[in-house]
C-alpha cells in the first residue's frame, strides 16, 4: 500500500488534446486525454461526418477515406467552412474499388485482405514521421464488413490502439450504427478509450440530434446528453444542455 501511494504521488498531470468543438472542449477541460482511441458510434442520419471534419480542423490530419473519393469530401469540408490545407487523404476508396485505369473492379477475391497491407504500410509511414497529428478512419465500418477473419479486424484495432498510446495522438474511428453484428460492435467499443454516441430522433414535427460520451478512460464519463445541430460544423445547443 505504501509503494502504491508513492507511485500515485509521482503521476504526471493528464494532458488534453482539443476536439475542435469549442464548447465540448470546454466541458472536457480542454479536450480528450492525449493518446485516446475514440469511436464515433453514430446513426448516419445524424451527419457524423461533420464531427470528423471538425476533428480534422485542429491541425495536421491523416484522413483514411473508404466510402467516397477524397475530392468530394474536400468539397464538403470547404462548403462547411473548414480548411483542407492540413488534411492529407489516404485514399482507401480508390485503392480498393478502382483499378490502375480508374475503372471499378468487378471481382477480386484477394482485395479484401490486401487492403489491410495497404493500411499497415501507411500507418507505419505515419508513425515514422512523428509529430502531432490526428488520424481519422471514415469509416472503420468498411473494414468490419470485409470478408476476412475476425483476427485480422482485431489486428487493425490493436494496431490503432497501440499507435495512439505510443504517439500520444488522437485517433478517431467512425462506426455506423445498425449494420454490424453485436460481437463486432462490442469488439470496437471495448478497445476504444472514448465513445461518442450520436443519434437522431423525430419528436413531433422536429428532428433532434443528440450526443453523449458515456466512456472516457482516465476521465469521468459524461452521462448527460447534448443536443447539437449542423451549421458550419457541429454546434452544441447551449440553451438547454450546457449552462
Q: What is the pLDDT of residue 240?
A: 52
Using the predicted structure, report yes or no on whether residue 242 has a pLDDT greater than 80: no
Number of domains within the chain:
1
Whole-number pLDDT of residue 5: 47
User: Which residue has 464519463 as its cell numbers?
Assistant: 221
The answer to whether residue 67 sits within a structural domain is yes
- Condensed to tens digits (0 to 9), the pLDDT of residues 88-144 reads 999 999 999 998 878 888 778 789 999 999 999 999 999 998 899 999 999 999 999
Helix 150-167 with 111-129: angle, nearest 10 deg: 10
Residue 237 near residue 210 (C-beta atoms within 8 A): no
Strand, coil or helix: 135: strand
* 7, part of any domain: no
Full residue range of the structural domain in which residue 202 is found: 14-236
pLDDT band at 223 (very low <50, low <70, confident <90, very high): confident
pLDDT one-digit tens code per residue, 54-65: 999 999 999 999
So what's the pLDDT on residue 9? 45
Position 33 pLDDT exceeds 80: yes
pTM of the prediction? 0.91
DSSP string, 22-39: HHHHHHTTTSEETT-EEE
| CA 111 to mean position of chain CA atoms | 24
- Give phi and psi for 130, each to the nearest 5: 70, -170
In a domain, 36, yes or no: yes
Please tell me the distance from the alpha carbon of residue 45 to that of residue 56, in angstroms, as a whole number: 21
More confident residue, 107 or 84: 84
Task: Assess whether the previous peptide bond of 139 is cis (omega < 30° from 0).
Answer: yes
d(CA 11, CA 36): 18
Distance of CA 130 to the CA centre of its chain: 19
Angle at 34 between CA 42 and CA 2, to 5 degrees: 120
Cα 225 to Cα 210: distance, rounded to the nearest angstrom: 6
* Domain at 104, CATH number: 3.40.50.300
Of the pLDDT bands very low, low, confident and very high (cuts 50, 70, 90), residue 206 is confident
Average pLDDT, the chain: 90
Measured CA distances, 86 to 53, 58, 64, 91 (Å): 12, 9, 14, 16
Asked, for residue 228, whether it belongs to a domain, the answer is yes
Rounded CA separation 216/205 (Å)? 34
The predicted model gives 66-75 an average pLDDT of 97
Q: Is 47 within the bounds of a domain?
A: yes
173, part of any domain: yes
Whether residue 214 lies inside any domain: the answer is yes
Whether 2 has a pLDDT exceeding 80, the answer reads: no
% of the chain exceeding 70 in pLDDT: 92
Confidence of residue 184 (pLDDT cuts 50, 70, 90): very high
The answer to whether residue 122 sits within a structural domain is yes
Q: Is the pLDDT of residue 1 over 50?
A: no
More confident residue, 241 or 220: 220
Strand ranges for the chain from DSSP E: 16-17, 32-33, 37-42, 61-65, 87-91, 134-138, 170-176, 194-203, 206-216, 222-230, 234-236
Amino acid at each position: 500500500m505504501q509503494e502504491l501511494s508513492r507511485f500515485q504521488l509521482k503521476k504526471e498531470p493528464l494532458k488534453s488534446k482539443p476536439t475542435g468543438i469549442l464548447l465540448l472542449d470546454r466541458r472536457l477541460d480542454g479536450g480528450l486525454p492525449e493518446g485516446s482511441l475514440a469511436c464515433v458510434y453514430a446513426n448516419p442520419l445524424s451527419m457524423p461526418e461533420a464531427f470528423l471534419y471538425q476533428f480534422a480542423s485542429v491541425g495536421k490530419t491523416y484522413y483514411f477515406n473508404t466510402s467516397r473519393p477524397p475530392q468530394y469530401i474536400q468539397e464538403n469540408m470547404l462548403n462547411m467552412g473548414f480548411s483542407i490545407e492540413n488534411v492529407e487523404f489516404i485514399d482507401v476508396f480508390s485503392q480498393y474499388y478502382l483499378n490502375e485505369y480508374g475503372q471499378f473492379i468487378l471481382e477480386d477475391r484477394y482485395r479484401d485482405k490486401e487492403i489491410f497491407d495497404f493500411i499497415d504500410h501507411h500507418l507505419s509511414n505515419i508513425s515514422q514521421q512523428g509529430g502531432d497529428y490526428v488520424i481519422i478512419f471514415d469509416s472503420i465500418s468498411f473494414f468490419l464488413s470485409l470478408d476476412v477473419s475476425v483476427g485480422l479486424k482485431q489486428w487493425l484495432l490493436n494496431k490503432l490502439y497501440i499507435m495512439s498510446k505510443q504517439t500520444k495522438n488522437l485517433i478517431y474511428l467512425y462506426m455506423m450504427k445498425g449494420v454490424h453484428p453485436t460481437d463486432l460492435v462490442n469488439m470496437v467499443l471495448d478497445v476504444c478509450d472514448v465513445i461518442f454516441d450520436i443519434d437522431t430522433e423525430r419528436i413531433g414535427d422536429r428532428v433532434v440530434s443528440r450526443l453523449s460520451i458515456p466512456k472516457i478512460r482516465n476521465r469521468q464519463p459524461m452521462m448527460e446528453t447534448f443536443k447539437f445541430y449542423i451549421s458550419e460544423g457541429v454546434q452544441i445547443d447551449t440553451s438547454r444542455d450546457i449552462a
